[in-house]
Amino acid sequence: MNQIKKLLIIGFVWPEPNSSAAGRRMMQLISIFKQNGFEITFASPALDSDFMVDLSEFGVKKVSIELNNSSFDDFIIELNPDVVLFDRFMIEEQFGWRVSENCPKAIRLLDTEDLHCLRTARQKAFKENRAFELLDLLSEEVAKREVASILRCDLSFIISEFEMKILNEVFKINSDLLYYLPFLVYEMSELDLLKLPLFEERKNFVFIGNFLHEPNWNTVQYLKETIWPLIKKQFPEAILEVFGAYPSQKVLQLHQPKNGFFIMGRAENANEIVKKSRIVLAPIRFGAGLKGKLLEAMQCGTPSITSAIGSEAMHANLPWNGFITDDVELFAKKAVELYHDENLWKQSQKNGVAIVNECYQLSKYSTALVTKINSLLNDSENHRLHNFMGSLLQHHTLKSTKYMAKWIEAKNKN
């Protein structure tokens, strides 16, 4: 009889699947591990939120932990997990050294969510009104921290093939340390498509995204100031509904019903809203990873118009479920055309289903993922032997985060 394996997930925040793609991603991972017999504990230093999921409903134990506190050492020694999954590199910085000291045999996994250094460098280039170049990454402070975190871990989940390429070719990271793992969803059938609202049953344009995420706020500004006036000029009756968790006052101030621009706030059920909408607009100008809102649009049978960055690494070589353009005039023209042309709309919808089934199949990735982790559990010593840079970064002379944490802990006691 196989011994039950223990997984500890250390979360940056408590999962909020109805608030963000990151929350949905975490629940996907929990589901895969749970289905493969792992006993899961989810720990986080974050405060509870009104919208976090009830982990107990999924058979997951919830534990609150503290930053810069040796109480975590006692906790992890007692738990003695086989596998530890860090949610983003900042969490690995805080707790990775404690895991490696107190549970040295535990496999250390990192879910990057997206490459933070890519998002940061693109945002910086955007604000400086210049084109982003891959070489920008090499001078990015966040990149040094993020790559160090990847090297310290046994395996890192990378959500985008473009980001896999960056890590391989720009940062020269060994492929054995990287694991491509996109969003994972169930296959869509013709029957699923028939169950969705029809073209004539849908109305309005929609944008949806968590406003704590800077690219989403920037996108809404761009829509309001630049793209929406062009759409309204061609289609005066057009209405755009903007949904998103945690809207600030600056977001709410964009609400302008007389111009067909509605700030709707948090979506109770994002899926239902997107299903009832005719077109998703997402002219994203900077960011990284995969865009959960665009995959969700495909699952809801809702065509979308987005930018090159919005669609990056999302559709292999398959035709998009709508249009991709960075030209504002063309964006507005295609938005109106797609809204009114039923045949074009239906073909775009079918394109989305093809992308979902080709690129994001749960069955295609979940078994292989567990097989990979089991192989690490069986051969971690050999795997780590070939990761010299990782062992170098575990050396005491390079553990600045460890000694900073100890200094903060001592200071707090005084």
Q: pTM of the entire structure?
A: 0.92
pLDDT of 377 > 90? The answer is: yes
Averaged pLDDT, 290-308: 97
Confidence bin at 397 (pLDDT 50/70/90): low
**Which own/partner pairs from 219-224 qualify as long-range (CB within 8 Å, at least 24 positions apart)?**
219/282, 219/283, 219/284, 219/285, 220/244, 220/251, 220/254, 221/254, 222/283, 222/285, 223/281, 223/283, 224/254, 224/256, 224/261
Task: Locate all alpha helices (DSSP H) within 153-289, ordered by sequence.
Answer: 161-169, 190-195, 214-222, 228-234, 249-252, 270-276
Mean pLDDT of 264-274: 93
Q: Which residue has the tokens 């118009």?
A: 305
pLDDT 10s digits, 30-51: 999 999 999 999 999 999 999 9
Give the side-chain half-sphere CA count within 13 A for 250. Answer: 8
Bridge partner list, 42: 9, 62
Q: Is the pLDDT of residue 1 over 70?
A: no
40-82 pLDDT, tens digit each: 999 999 999 999 999 999 999 999 999 999 999 999 999 999 9
